């Protein structure tokens, strides 16, 4: 059975940029629903119990058709959100250092150049989806709860949830204000750890 991971900080601790109300709704309700519906899909196809979440998502074509879209949507939701909580911190913001900073600068000219492109791609996502920084330093987007490993790509270094449920309570329709605020909570330590272990 898949379970909802605890937040690595209090619900209110990102409050200046992302309110406790959003975190309660987003983590406790939305993410819990992805977990519950993923578990229901696995209950309906018990042969899949042995597979890890990564294995399930990396080979959607191998899944029984009657549970495939549920695992894509809710399994993707569980996978993406489990990472998303780790990518934020009350002590976040600033810039990466070391080899990651160097690679970002090589690819985007400067850290600000990277922020600008990641932000622009996040604002260009039509409807619900995610923006990702991949280990090869590409910035890509996916729709809905799709995730890079579903597309045969490596696991992302960093990702941003641009579903309205991630910001509407605080920012209404102003996704740009949400994205600009989010840079202040990005946990670069976690991004760097993911980069190093690649």
Residues near Mn ion (CB under 5 A): 161, 163, 166
Q: How far is the CB of 163 from Mn ion (least distance, A)?
A: 5
CB atoms within 10 A of CB 66: 10
CA 60 vs CA 10, 40, 48, 130, 185: distances in Å: 34, 17, 12, 19, 33
Smaller CB separation from Mn ion, 81 or 195: 81
For the chain, give the secondary structure using H, E and C: CCCCCCCCCCCCCCCCCCCHHHHHHHHHHHHHHHHHHHHHHHHHCHHHHHCCHHHHHHCHHHCCHHHHHHHHHHHHHHHHHHHHHHCECCCCCCCCCHHHHHHHHHHHCCHHHHHHHHHHHHHHCCCCEEEEECCCCCEEEEECCCCHHHHCCCCCCEEEECCHHHCHHHHCCCHHHHHHHHHHHECHHHHHHHHHCC
Q: How far is the CB of 81 from Mn ion (least distance, A)?
A: 6
Smaller CB separation from Mn ion, 48 or 166: 166
Smaller CB separation from Mn ion, 34 or 118: 34
Smaller CB separation from Mn ion, 22 or 48: 22
Smaller CB separation from Mn ion, 42 or 166: 166
Q: How far is the CB of 112 from Mn ion (least distance, A)?
A: 27
Smaller CB separation from Mn ion, 144 or 192: 144
Q: How far is the CB of 26 from Mn ion (least distance, A)?
A: 6
Q: How far is the CB of 145 from Mn ion (least distance, A)?
A: 8
Q: How far is the CB of 164 from Mn ion (least distance, A)?
A: 9
Residue nearest to Mn ion (CB): 161
């Amino acid at each position: 059975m898949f379970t909802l991971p605890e937040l690595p900080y209090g619900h209110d601790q990102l409050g200046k940029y992302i309110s406790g109300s959003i975190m309660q709704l987003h983590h406790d309700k939305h993410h819990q629903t992805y977990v519950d519906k993923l578990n229901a899909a696995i209950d309906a196809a018990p042969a899949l119990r042995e597979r890890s979440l990564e294995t399930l998502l990396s080979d959607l074509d191998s899944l029984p058709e009657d549970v495939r879209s549920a695992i894509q949507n809710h399994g993707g939701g569980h996978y993406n959100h489990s990472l998303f909580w780790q990518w934020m911190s009350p002590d976040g913001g600033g810039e990466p250092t070391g080899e990651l900073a160097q690679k970002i600068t090589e690819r985007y000219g400067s850290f600000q150049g990277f922020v600008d492109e990641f932000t622009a791609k996040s604002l260009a996502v039509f409807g619900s989806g995610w923006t990702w920084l991949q280990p090869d330093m590409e910035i890509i987007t996916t729709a809905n709860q799709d995730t890079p490993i579903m597309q045969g790509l490596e696991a992302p270094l960093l990702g941003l949830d641009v579903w309205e449920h991630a910001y509407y309570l605080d920012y209404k329709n102003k996704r740009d204000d949400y994205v600009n605020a989010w840079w202040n909570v990005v946990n670069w330590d976690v991004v760097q750890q993911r980069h190093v272990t690649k």
